[in-house]
A and B are shown apart, each in its own frame.
Chain A
Amino acid sequence: MGSGPGQQSNGGPTPDRARRRLARTLARDRFRDYEGLLRAALSHEYRVVSLEDFLFDPAARMGERILILRHDVDQHPASALVAARIERRLELRSTWYVRWRTADPAVIEALRAAGGSVGFHYETLTRRVLDGGFDRRAGLDALLEDTRRELRTEIATFQELFGPLRSVCAHGDTRVPWASNLWLLEGEDVARYGVRDDANLGMRRYDLGAWLTDRSADDGAWSDGLDPLALLRQGVSPIQCLTHPNNWISGVALWRDRLLAASLQVPRPGARTRVTRTRSDRSPASAG
């Protein structure tokens, strides 16, 4: 039985729902909007700094209006290059947190060459939970202790493969909403892990005027319904702007990347490949 006008839906796909689901897939890239946002910040006389500069360079925290750039490269490493090109054109620097799956040597080199700083986007805890490595009988504390050791090894491996790091940042995994990777470093002496700070923990030391986070929706909405242009007009500061470049790329490019990742052999972390595409979540440390 179909659901005509005036009838209750039987729960099957409606044209509206299908359109919503397909909207992201069919969407064009929105990097022009990102460039517009950065230009608006500069036009409103914001000082645009990378998150690491904000954390580690007191001079970068000077000024009445500050916009802090952070990118979490969660998927599709090539998308980071597009955002980096825009920032380079505007002579801006930002901090890029890459996961193992997006840690493409060529991309990391290009991001650094564009003036950006690269950090490690760790997901050691959630990956372990997803792998079924959580023994409920042993309890969460034992899991955290064990996973912290793994994280330390992972950070060392990442530095070995990609050069020195100043900061790391916890990745949020929607598949494991009850667990936060940030628990691993909360209350810990981060220096013992071979880096100066964790991005989220470090930013807790400062009163932010606003925290902008992009969403994956095709309409370009921001989390909590925030309007970045209105914030800039009002002179709110400091603003942390967290974007995921894969949210701004076209749906077609995302699908091309997914197809490549599914059809090509998974390269070792740190290995150079001819094709830039999403890799595996595994680190050599956890694989070992």
Chain B
Amino acid sequence: MITVQGRDPLELERSFAEVSRVLRDEIIEHYRARGEKLDTPAGRRTLDTNTTLAAQRGKLLLRLLAERGGPVDLRGLSVVDLGCGFGALSLYLATAGADVVGIDPKSERHAVGARVAARLRLAATFRRGWLEDLVLADEQFDIAVLNNSLCYIVPRSERMRALRHTLRVLVPGGWLVTRNPSRMAPLDPFTGLPLVHQVPPALAARLLRRRTPPRSAVRLHTGGAASRELRRAGFTSVRRQRIDEKRWLPPRYQHHTARRPA
């Protein structure tokens, strides 16, 4: 069983290292059972993103919240991880003491996170769901996390639906923290090619339709456009937070924090 470590970052890191190891084994088993290869660049990236990099990402998102005066100690708080994938970030937040609900359309993926949570007795549950059609009750969560998930919703109206649902499930005054690839990045974060991420999604899909492996359809925003979208959805105190170390380059990812009006 993992002991909740609250606000001590080193203890949290050590505790999550064990979670990460178990998750890594489960992900490898998931791929093996499905006969899919992990020994590819994409496979290795998936494994790293969901294990070692999850701690860095979780730490970063918590830092962003703290910088805005948001919660520092997650103990006793409820968090929804929207688009949780294998649930790595959900497990990190649960290790930090939060009660986490991970939502993802692919149930076979979050089943991996659910097995880890059950094995290590972490307060993380996982449900199948779509951001645009979220069936969670109103005003349920203190924090909502959109980590690399909103970009996969392409139609603008659907993105707005997703954000309005996110607003709805937050308690008044609740926090949203988002991380998404930026349209201003020098190269497309998915393919490493120049320019394709800067053209409209339909054109990008047409340009890359013969590419193997196929690139997912995504809508990327500039930081300003993402802020405006959040405001239109009803969020307040919207702020884009720049974290990239190479300040002379446009950031690959953009991070926003916002609040539901109290």
Interface residues of A (CB under 8 A from B): 35-36, 39-40, 42-45, 232-233
Contact = CB atoms under 8 A, between A and B. Distances in A.
B173 interface: no
Interface stretch (B5-13, B125-133, B196-204): B125-133
B135 interface: yes
Chain B contact residues: over half helix, strand or loop, or mixed?
A: loop
A233 B138 CA distance: 14
Interface string B109-134: 00000000000000000011110111
Kindly name the residue among B129, B132, B133 whose own CB sees the greatest number of chain A CB atoms within 10 A: B133
Nearest to A89: B105
24 contacts: A35-B133, A36-B132, A36-B133, A39-B105, A39-B129, A39-B130, A39-B132, A39-B133, A40-B133, A40-B135, A42-B128, A42-B129, A43-B127, A43-B128, A43-B129, A43-B130, A43-B133, A43-B134, A43-B135, A44-B135, A45-B127, A45-B128, A232-B135, A233-B135
Given A39-B129, A43-B134, A44-B135, 18 more contacts: A36-B132, A39-B105, A39-B130, A39-B132, A39-B133, A40-B133, A40-B135, A42-B128, A42-B129, A43-B127, A43-B128, A43-B130, A43-B133, A43-B135, A45-B127, A45-B128, A232-B135, A233-B135
A44 B133 CA distance: 11
Contacts of B135: 40, 43-44, 232-233
A94 to B, nearest CB: 19
Contacts, number: 24
Interface range on chain B (Cβ under 8 Å from partner): under 10
B27 to A, nearest CB: 21
Interface in B213-233: none
Contacts of A43: 127-130, 133-135
A44 B129 CA distance: 9
A97 to B, nearest CB: 27
Contacts of A232: 135
Nearest to A42: B128
Kindly name the residue among A43, A44, A45, A233 whose own CB sees the greatest number of chain B CB atoms within 10 A: A43
A40 B135 CA distance: 7
Contacts of A36: 132-133
Contacts of A39: 105, 129-130, 132-133
Kindly name the residue among B128, B129, B130, B134 whose own CB sees the greatest number of chain A CB atoms within 10 A: B130
Contacts of B132: 36, 39
Contacts of B130: 39, 43
Nearest to A36: B133
A230 to B, nearest CB: 12
Nearest to A37: B133
B138 to A, nearest CB: 13
A193 B215 CA distance: 49
Interface string B90-105: 0000000000000001
Contacts of B105: 39
B109 to A, nearest CB: 13
A88 to B, nearest CB: 14
B131 to A, nearest CB: 10
Nearest to B127: A43
A39 B127 CA distance: 12
Kindly name the residue among A35, A40, A42, A45 whose own CB sees the greatest number of chain B CB atoms within 10 A: A42
Contacts of B133: 35-36, 39-40, 43
B106 to A, nearest CB: 10
A40 B136 CA distance: 10
A48 to B, nearest CB: 11
B216 to A, nearest CB: 14
A65 B105 CA distance: 18
A44 B135 CA distance: 8
B128 to A, nearest CB: 5
B221 to A, nearest CB: 22
A220 to B, nearest CB: 15
Nearest to A35: B133
B125 to A, nearest CB: 12
A35 B132 CA distance: 11
A42 B134 CA distance: 11
